[in-house]
Amino acid sequence: KQRLGKFEQANGGTIFLDEIGDMSLDAQAKVLRALQESKIARVGGDKEIKVDVRVLAATNKDLRKEIEAKRFREDLYHRLAVIIIEVPPLNERRGDIPMLVEHFIELICTEYGIASKKITKEALVALQNVNWTGNIRELRNVVERLIILSGNELTADHVMNYVGPFQRPE
């Protein structure tokens, strides 16, 4: 049974390419061809299929440096770089952490089917002082860990006990 590829599934819509900076040069060439020619070929197939997709791409790498190091195709970069949105790392926008934590508490408690938990101001301050190398994903995982391992209220002590050794507040 033949399965549709990602570009074919996204035909007429949007495809999100996450961590495009980690894509192999061979895969980059295929993506570039699909974007330039609006055509793809299925693996093992001999006919081309017309596709019309809008592409959103994300990476945590500096693609200019990747281009200089010959790990990312400059022509693909220019094809993708129509509108660039740079999001600073979480360590550079610590003021966003309280709002994000509140959002994640509601989201995770709803997912688990449990009552929302409260978080102390001191816990929020402790979370703002963590070294967030993994950005939002890391913050979400820490909030989930706090929800699982703590009682009805999340405290600064919980933060100190349940963040990883490389995340300890400064």
Tell me the pLDDT tens digit for each residue of 52-106.
Answer: 999 999 998 999 999 999 999 999 999 999 999 988 999 999 999 999 999 999 9
The whole-angstrom separation of Cα 165 and Cα 170 is 12
The whole-angstrom separation of Cα 57 and Cα 74 is 15
The β-bridge relationship of strands 39-41 and 48-50 is antiparallel
Give the SS3 label for residue 36. helix
Give the SS3 label for residue 125. helix
128 in Cβ contact with 98 (< 8 Å) = yes
Tell me the pLDDT tens digit for each residue of 20-48.
Answer: 999 999 999 999 988 999 888 777 777 88
pTM greater than the 0.85 cutoff:
no
